[in-house]
Amino acid sequence: MRHDRLVLILIWRELSAGLRSMRRRDLAWIVAGGGALLAYAIADIAIALQAAAATLLQAQMLWTVGLPGALFCLGGFAGSAVARLCLSRAFAPFLKALPLSLVERRRMAAVAAWALGVPLALIVAAATGLGCFVIAKPLAPAWGLGAVMLFGSGFCLAAVLRLRSARDLVGIGNADPAGEPGGRKPWLGAFDRATPAWLSSWAWGLPAGRVRFSWRLAGAAILLGLAAVVAGSISLAHHDAVPAAMAALAGGLLVFMLSARFHPLGSPVLRTAPLGFVRAWLRLARLPLQLSVAFFLLPAGAALAAEPSAWAMPLASGFWLLVLNGAYAVFAAYFMTAPFVAALSFLSAIAYASYESLEYGRTVLIGLAALVLFLWHRAQRRYRHG
Amino acid sequence: MDSSIDPAEILAVRRLSAGYGGRAVVSGIDLSLVRGDILGLLGANGSGKSTLLRAITGQIRPLGGSVTVDGADLAGAPERAKSGFGLAMDPSDLPAALSGRQYLQLVASIRGCAEDDWPGVDVAERLGLKRWIERPIAEYSLGTRAKIAIAAALLGAPPLLILDESLNGLDPLAAFEVKRIILALASSGRHAVIISTHVVESVPGLCNRAVLLADGRMARAWHARQLAEAGRMPGAFEAEVMRALTVQAADG
């Protein structure tokens, strides 16, 4: 069909327009700095793989379950994210008026998802094949081919599921709002009134401040609640504070990352108002932080009850939760319109810092702190000067 | 506050250059507004009107020159300078998820005033916003969005009101009411107004000063007396503006 490549063309145009809008100096920094970092990371990983080659070759579980499972899951995540991106373009507001059916829009998104998925699969294959080659694993090219098949299966499965579940967003966008009577009180009235009022409702996109029930929200709440209860129960049963304290830290951070949204920082509504960056940033972090602390308290209380003598552990978890939440809030303010990119960058930075700290000790944390300060400075500058 | 600053001067723009990615879109702009002024900002598409207003409101960093609002330097004391003006947002920049009332409460909480603290009049009532005010802004028409943006800009009665093509989408009654409010603000002697518009014919009746931007520079300026004279003869001001635009286009 003649429309099939429309979404792909749109994404390509967006990418090229984004690159063209950047200053050459910034672009050069990203290419040179990013390239150097990538080369360093590849060299570092190759050396680490070589050092651990004997152990890795012996680990049967890694080759039979771990690696295939990881590749399949990675493909699934990538497929879901790419399909979501393509669907959002297929239902872009300026395409709403075009006489394109739901099936045609799905096909446009599928073509684009396929075109984006192929290079991703090739990168995964090259990385896996190269990794096997470095540790002298027999049949390295075959492992690369297997990686493509596993990654591709996960990618296709997730992408197809997401594309099939896409509803007619054109119809939804044009729905008659008269069916939803106005005048009801906003649900977050008691929590979101601090100055500047309604900032979290805006950040979360709650229509007129009202929370709408969704299965995704309910599922996340049930899962997080279950995790807290299970971790607390294990701690109480074994009189060991560690499981509950770790669940409190990880769950609290997850709740903060899922709920923190900072896109209002890019809006002229705040940027032209007599409101400083720090105040706006703190206000946007406030409700997510309250949610994070609310989650933290249950497993942390269980940890304290399970092993009262180890009171320092939940306390340290609470301290690190605040530090990590603060660091993520900086990443999210920098990548204000792309929370997924913010989360991915933050987790990558934490993972990489943890990995390097094995070699260089805690001094790596200074590098991480410097990165957070740099992102803070850039986010503040963008808020002030666009 | 600098003792050399005229207390009646609300906006002082000196040798301002501004643009994007290091490239100047407007340059060499000098502008001074005192209380009681209503300035009509005219110009063709791409002439630099919105860029100038973005630089004045602190949305982009000036490449050169300075902006002072009500005695506060925008670069040195941005929050104090920004408390000196109310900007009617572009309809696409409004927080679509919030209801009209929530948006007014958001702006009022930042400005430290009540959500109905308008200068002298109940703007929501006058602009017919009451029946929409509890609904999300996403459901508003272009005109209703323009109304809520103007109502929010007037909250706290800032000394300088800035309307960037905000009159375009209004229905005739709302446009009439907004013009009445603007004239009342200026005649009170406590406020000044900048109106960027393509509706050239509305300028002589509403503004006491006008400026024409062309290619990022001030190509022509009209004082109160010149505008009053042009306003007496129907179509005379429009003809002058069109002539200036044609000359600029030919020179360009």
Domain ranges of chain A: 6-168, 191-205+212-385
Cβ atoms of B1 and B37 within 8 Å: the answer is no
pLDDT for res B5: 57
pLDDT for res A176: 43
Question: Cα separation of B37 and B192, whole Å?
Answer: 5
Q: Report in angstroms the alpha-carbon separations of B165 from A142, B40, B70.
A: 63, 10, 23
- Within 8 A of B98 by CB-CB distance, chain A residues are 198, 201-202, 208-209
* Chain B 96-125, residues with CB within 8 Å of chain A CB atoms: 97-99, 102-103, 105-111
Q: Where are the alpha helices (DSSP H) in chain A?
A: 6-21, 24-51, 53-58, 60-61, 67-90, 102-134, 140-165, 169-173, 199-204, 215-238, 242-259, 268-271, 277-306, 312-334, 339-360, 364-385
When CB atoms are compared, the residue of B95, B110, B139 closest to A273 is B110
A181 near B CB under 8 A: no
- Within 8 A of A202 by CB-CB distance, chain B residues are 95, 97-98, 102, 106
Pick from B102, B104, B115, B131 the residue to mutate for testing the A interface (most A CBs within 10 Å).
B102
- Chain A residue with CA closest to B101: the answer is A208
- Chain B residue with CA closest to A188: the answer is B102
pLDDT for res A102: 85
Residue B86, SS3 per DSSP = strand
* Chain A 9-38, residues with CB within 8 Å of chain B CB atoms: 21, 23
What is the bridge-based pairing of β-strands B38-43 and B160-164?
unpaired
Cβ distance of B79 and A275 shorter than 8 Å? yes
Tracing tokens 């609300």 back to the chain, one arrives at: B10
pLDDT for res A177: 43
| Residue B201 pLDDT class (50, 70, 90 cuts) | confident
Q: How many beta-carbon contacts under 8 Å exist across A and B?
A: 99
When CB atoms are compared, the residue of B59, B98, B107 closest to A268 is B59
Closest CA to B61 of B112, B2, B19: B19
**Residues B24-47: tens digit of each pLDDT:** 999 999 999 999 999 999 998 889
Identify any residues that bridge with B211 across adjacent strands, giving them in sequence order.
B41, B221
Question: Cα separation of B133 and B139, whole Å?
Answer: 11
- Within 8 A of A276 by CB-CB distance, chain B residues are 79
A197 near B CB under 8 A: yes
Q: Report in angstroms the alpha-carbon separations of A24 from A11, A349, B23, B30.
A: 21, 26, 13, 31
Average pLDDT value for residue range B217-222: 91
Rg (CA), chain A: 24
A93 near B CB under 8 A: no
Interface ipTM: 0.91
B23 near A CB under 8 A: no
Question: Cα separation of A305 and A285, whole Å?
Answer: 30
Cβ atoms of A56 and A135 within 8 Å: the answer is yes
Question: Cα separation of A257 and A216, whole Å?
Answer: 16
**Residues B60-107: tens digit of each pLDDT:** 999 999 999 999 999 999 999 999 999 999 999 999 999 999 999 999
pLDDT for res A179: 44
- Within 8 A of B80 by CB-CB distance, chain A residues are 274
**Residues B131-185: tens digit of each pLDDT:** 899 999 999 999 999 999 999 999 999 999 999 888 888 899 999 999 999 999 9
B166 near A CB under 8 A: no
For each of chain A's 386 residues, which pLDDT tens digit applies? 567 888 999 999 988 887 877 777 778 888 898 899 889 888 988 998 999 999 999 988 889 999 999 999 999 999 999 999 999 888 887 777 788 888 888 899 999 999 999 999 999 999 999 999 999 999 999 999 999 999 999 999 999 998 888 765 555 444 444 444 445 566 677 788 888 999 999 999 988 888 877 888 899 899 999 999 999 999 999 999 999 999 999 999 999 999 999 999 999 999 999 999 999 999 999 999 999 999 999 999 999 999 999 899 999 999 999 999 999 999 999 999 888 889 989 998 998 888 888 777 778 888 899 999 999 999 999 999 87
